[in-house]
Chain A
Amino acid sequence: MAANPHGHGHNYVVEVSLEGERDRVTGMVFDLKELKAILEREIVEPYDHRFLNYEVPPFDREVPTTENIALDIWRRLERRLSGGSAKLHAVRVYETPDLYVDYFGETKCFA
């Protein structure tokens, strides 16, 4: 079914986890307002209501499996989150409530 030539859609749900120490002054690991803006700009804006195969690189070349989507989201976020003390820990992508993928980066194993 996933190979239907006309494609098909999902209401994807993405969970992004960061890890780090609390800032001494703010008591926060990361400013969630800022995180929300980053997720909106880097993920939701390019992905939402798009035909992934035609409109969202690298899926013109790669199969848009949930694994590859998690990997692409990781890559898009990692470069935006690399500055501060908090680091990207995990990207979870739900294709449906019954199927989801976790990606923890290349070097890390599972926590």
Chain B
Amino acid sequence: MFRVTRRYEFAASHRLHAAELSEEENRRLYGKCNNPYGHGHNYVVEVSVRGPLEGSTGRAVDTAALDELVRREVVVPFDHKNLNREVAVFSGVVPTSENLGVEICRRLKRNWKQVFPGEWPKLERIRIGETARNIFEVGSDEIE
């Protein structure tokens, strides 16, 4: 069994602000990330896929098909966007990298069978680098 990982990048802005908390509590909790004007990151997204070798091709995943799926579902809708205002789910969910990872995972899972109709390959993990020092991982099995 192999794990193939592909790395993608997009740039986006966000503001961390929880609707249930007061202005003061938000400032204390999120600090600079609560700046009312938002701020941006060059996000790095790693998509890991698991599968056995497919005998005739010697590959575990068609990376061109994976690229097309990630481009359509993640890179195009997120790149150079204000996540809070331009990506519908984040109008009600704080766009932390944890929540971003869950959303990316959901989008890929929702469209997975259309691109990879067989038993394999399976989506295994999403890893988001918000900065070189802040990295968030979510396993596909943990997400509905």
Tell me the A residues contacting B by CB distance below 8 Å: 62-68, 70-71, 97-104, 106, 109-110
Does B72 make an interface contact (CB < 8 A)? no
A-B contact count (CB 8 A): 50
Complex Cα spacing A101 to B121, Å: 13
B121 to chain A, nearest CB (A): 11
Residues in chain B near residue A65, CB distance under 8 A: 57-59
Tell me the B residues contacting A by CB distance below 8 Å: 1-8, 50, 53, 57-60, 63, 124
Complex Cα spacing A70 to B58, Å: 11
Known: A65-B58, A65-B59, A67-B58. A110 touches B7 (CB 8 A): no
Sampled A-B contacts (11; CB under 8 Å) = A63-B58, A65-B59, A67-B4, A67-B60, A71-B53, A99-B63, A101-B5, A102-B4, A102-B5, A103-B3, A110-B3
Question: Which of B3, B50, B58 interacts with A68 by CB under 8 Å?
Answer: B58
On whether the beta carbons of A103 and B2 are closer than 8 Å, the reply is: yes
On whether the beta carbons of B1 and A63 are closer than 8 Å, the reply is: no
Complex Cα spacing A97 to B53, Å: 22
On whether the beta carbons of B57 and A99 are closer than 8 Å, the reply is: no
Q: Which residue of B lies closest to A70 (CB)?
A: B2
Complex Cα spacing A102 to B61, Å: 13
Complex Cα spacing A103 to B59, Å: 12
Known: A68-B53, A98-B6. A110 touches B60 (CB 8 A): no
Complex Cα spacing A67 to B121, Å: 13
B17 to chain A, nearest CB (A): 33
Residues in chain B near residue A71, CB distance under 8 A: 2, 53
Question: Which of B7, B8, B59 interacts with A67 by CB under 8 Å?
Answer: B59
